[in-house]
Structure 1
Amino acid sequence: MRQPTPNTGMFGNITLLANIERALKHIWTVKQSKKPDYKSFGTKPNVVIILSCKRSGTSFFGELFNQNPDVFYVFEPLMYFTYMALNHEISNDKFDTLSLKMIESISTCDIHHIPYLSKWWEKGYNRRLSINFKGLSMESGIKKISERCNVSKLIAIKTIRVADIALLRDFIESEKANVKVLHLVRDPRAVMNSRWKLKEPNSDFLRKRRNGNATDEVVDLCQHTTRNIEYVSSKPDWLRGKYKLLRYEDVASFPIESSIEIYNFLGIDYPSALTDWLNNNTNKQSGNPYGTSRVSYQIINNWRKEIALNKLNEIQEKCKHTMTSLGYEVLNGEKQLLDIDGKIAYKAFTKPEFT
């Protein structure tokens, strides 16, 4: 039997092109059905760096991102540098350089170049990622982290260990990633009361004190906050449109509204499931001081029932400028301190935001 003659000429070419087009469309449809690797398309990763101080409500705040499956969330990746410095495994003057290298490695999903990677893995700091590594070797685990990072719509890094926002300038200006900064602050009276309740040393303060950069923890807290607020208030061009200041009290009082505002600022779709999580976790109290379940309206004022009057006066004296700049009211005497319904401890203030 004679074999059919293949299509040739102009119409044959048209048929061939049509077949190629259908094949390409099929390939594209398959790719679209999978979660895309954003970096493979040459798109710079979207990154948010959450900066704050110890016991400022960051564990709860970080859950606004950890509860989103499209977010690659990393909390306190710089912690092991603190312990390395305290154990004399690194010099204190290398802390900032290593911290910035860590932030850049995570932000660009370049996990293999995390400083002291073997130690980071061996000491279990990979547990600070919401990924199950049970039974995985370091090589397989790093591969898994990289893959998860690369397909995420947003990379969120929460840290209480960046001393100055200005340290982020070179990385943000390098434009290796689309970076925005969320700066979370909290009433210093609540912060210090929470720290004292833990009855454990503040490792990061000990590291700074050893280096001669701090002698008084209350002063260190408020100087850190004031220094950064004043820097941002100078409106540096490199931060324009990339910075947002938030008070913990506002977020805790209006968690859903605040979350929507934050996601809008980041240009990321707000996940509806987060509303359910917030409703379930801002209306109950866990006994874990590092937990994320809180009765929001109560936690804002709990410190007023617990703090000693002499400690209150000490903080207000040392932190008056910081408190005033952030809208925190001075409380005069025990009567005002305990009059939670009648004497509000914070008020509206002008945030140093700029576009």
Structure 2
Amino acid sequence: MMKDLRKLWKYIQCFMIVVSLYVVYALYVGMALKNLELYRKPKTYNLRNIVTVTNQTIQSKRVKKILVVAYQRSGSTFTSEILQHGGNRTFFSMEPLWQIYRTCYRRSVGICCPNNKCRSPVHPNEEIHQTLSVFRSIYSCNFTALPYDILKSFATFPSTEHENIKRLRCFNLKTAELEQRVSLHYDNCVQRLTRACGSSSVIIIKTLRINIELALELKASLDNLYIVHLFRDPRAIFFSRAKVGALTNDPINVQAKALCSVLYKNNMDALHRSDKVYNLLYERIAKEPHRVVRSLFKFCELNFSMTTSEWLQSFTNGSIQLPRHKLLSKKYGAFSAYSKESFEVSRKWRKKISLNTNKIIQDSCKEVLDIFRLRVFEEERELRNFGIQVLKG
């Protein structure tokens, strides 16, 4: 009897061992199949994934961020074109706030227009925190966070990816809701901007619509931001504005005083923070492009290479005749930066500006002309004589 019980117990033990082995095997096979399924399952990448990866890449690369604060008809497109030759890959955003403020601009006191009259914001996108968030989003390549009106600037101005966005007819309609219903390319265009921005070592924004005070506020919240304050002889600015029909209906002295008060305030703010802002007079970069651009690139920590030097020589003396420059001139007119003799262009206003207009602007802008070390012309023979330099020193 005992012998039979021992035999039965051995059978039970063997059965339990077999069952245990089967359970272990089943668990192992199940886990292996699950891992195989996970391995085979295609990964999906939405735009948020791209943005996250892009932001991490930007932080690791220490991308240089450049903000050009300028004025309408001050040579800002010309200067932005030069800055785009300071890195291997650059991303350029031209006038992202254009659709928000139109002819006006954002100051700490409100939204101010060419006659220097200011008002309070009328919708959320005009608030300061929204304005600055636009720049932060572009510098972090987070285009999904941008309002539709901001994205429209890439379809309007010669920014990075402009040609592709225009070809795909992105951001062409009045509202984002309509665009998303009608266009199959909306997300494609946002992704194009994200990829182009994320692969760049330099991100440049040119704006006419904030002042130096707000630019410095932006710098306080962004690493690696370089501010360039570009200004120009106010007489040349008004002559150029008149040529493209950009003057307002206000008397010229009202417009001149409004512009020069902003020029003066921005210049003083920049001079007081010269370690953070590069003050750049257009007439100097036009007259001595190599010397001034070398200094500008040094401030922005850009590379002034032999290729840059050769391009600058060709671009500023009007010898480049590439189809791209002709195309820019034809398509964008006032917004183009096609090749030309920069020094001749910078003083062209002296040939045709009327004596009366010249006097009104000089009387309205005495402090600014003095700070910029620009010569005041009292007589026509001095004004028209190019042997007399407009720059005092």
TM bracket, shorter-chain basis: 0.7 to 0.9
Partner of 2:202: 154
Q: How many Å separate the matches in 1 of 2:228 and 2:259? A: 18
Deviations 1:267-323 (A, max 9, x none): 122244333332222222987444322212211211110100000000000000011
Q: How many Å separate the matches in 2 of 1:195 and 1:271? A: 34
Which of 238, 252, 256 pairs up with 1:218?
A: 256
Which of 54, 60, 67 pairs up with 1:49?
A: 67
TM-score (norm 1): 0.73
Q: Which runs of 4+ in 1 moved over 6 A?
A: none
Secondary structure of the structure 2 residue equivalent to 1:177 = coil
Which of 88, 97, 111 pairs up with 1:78?
A: 97
Deviations 1:167-223 (A, max 9, x none): 13332212x331110111111111111111112456xx99xxxxxxx9921111101
Partner of 2:10: none
State whether residues 227 and 277 of structure 2, in contact with CA within 8 Å, keep that contact through their aligned partners in structure 1. Answer: yes
Partner of 1:3: none
TM-score (norm 2): 0.67
Partner of 1:109: 141
Deviations 1:128-153 (A, max 9, x none): 42212333712121112112212211
CA gap 1:255/1:41 in 2 versus in 1, 3 angstroms: closer
- Which 5+ residue runs of structure 2 have no aligned equivalent? 1-52, 105-110, 112-120, 171-184, 320-325
CA gap 1:160/1:96 in 2 versus in 1, 3 angstroms: farther
Alignment of 1:81-100 (within 5 A): 81-83=100-102, 91=122, 95=126, 97=128, 98-100=130-132
State whether residues 47 and 178 of structure 1, in contact with CA within 8 Å, keep that contact through their aligned partners in structure 2. Answer: yes
Partner of 1:12: none
CA gap 1:46/1:185 in 2 versus in 1, 3 angstroms: same
Q: CA RMSD in A?
A: 3.1
What's the CA shift for 1:58?
0.8
What's the CA shift for 1:41?
6.9
The count of aligned residue pairs is 293
> Is 1:347 matched up with 2:392?
yes
Partner of 2:311: 277
Instruction: Point out the more displaced range, 214-223 or 259-268.
Output: 214-223
What fraction of aligned residue pairs are identical, expressed as a percent?
Answer: 22
Could you say which structure has the larger radius of gyration?
Answer: 2
Instruction: Point out the more displaced range, 101-110 or 284-293.
Output: 284-293
Secondary structure of the structure 1 residue equivalent to 2:347 = helix
Q: How many Å separate the matches in 2 of 1:233 and 1:124? A: 32
CA gap 1:271/1:144 in 2 versus in 1, 3 angstroms: farther
Deviations 1:65-114 (A, max 9, x none): 3345421111111111124989xxx7278535233221111112121111
